[in-house]
Amino acid sequence: MTLQEAYNLFERLKTKTTNKAERKVYEKFTRVLSKLTRTGLSEEEIQSIEVELDRLNLDSTSGNSKKYHQKALRNFEKYLKDTFSLISKGYYTNLGIGLGSSFGILLGIVILSSFERSLGIAYGISFGMLIGLIIGRSMDGKAAAEGKVL
């Protein structure tokens, strides 16, 4: 399946559905596909992406179309990240906030335990999220400067 065929498929699915959640999945897929066509990929890379689109079997009709296409989108984004280092917008920011809050809980329990326990945990989560946000934003900026953001 070519990039254009996949784009047309999701545009057609987007017009057919009345479910808002399905529409969001289709819109995200069309956004990723349209940005892929604008990036300067070589013919071999485009062929590799088209092989991956064939492997995902996007035009199959299943019982739960939203769930199937959402899983296909996750797999496709993972493929793009692993193969071409292409990430979605805000990828590192989301990752940094998640990891920061996790480590922030530990920070709050271990180091900030001199405060009341719940207050120490709240401060730890806040500091961890702030640090994760700062690091994630800088990494997102670096990826955008390199042209690796979809």
The span from the first CA to the last CA of the chain, in angstroms, equals 20
Tokens of 50: 């088209």
The predicted structure's pLDDT at residue 13: 86
Give the predicted TM-score (pTM) of the model: 0.77
Task: State the amino acid at position 44 in one-letter form.
Answer: E
Secondary structure (3-state) at 68: helix
Per-residue pLDDT reduced to its tens digit, 17-31: 888 988 998 999 999
Residues with Cβ within 8 Å of 108's Cβ and at least 6 positions away in sequence, in order, are 120, 121, 122, 123, 124, 125
What CA–CA distances, in Å, run from 23 to 9, 65, 68, 91, 140? 13, 11, 13, 22, 27
Per-residue pLDDT reduced to its tens digit, 56-88: 888 776 667 788 888 989 999 999 999 988 898
Residues with Cβ within 8 Å of 147's Cβ and at least 6 positions away in sequence, in order, are 39
With bands split at pLDDT 50, 70 and 90, how would you rate the model's confidence at 114?
Answer: confident
The predicted structure's pLDDT at residue 57: 85
Instruction: Give the residue among 136, 74, 149, 69 at the shortest CA–CA distance from 101.
Output: 136
**What's the chain's average pLDDT?**
89
Q: Is the pLDDT of residue 128 over 90?
A: yes
Rounded to 10°, the helix 91-110/117-145 angle is 150
- Mean pLDDT of the 4-19 span: 88
With bands split at pLDDT 50, 70 and 90, how would you rate the model's confidence at 41?
Answer: confident
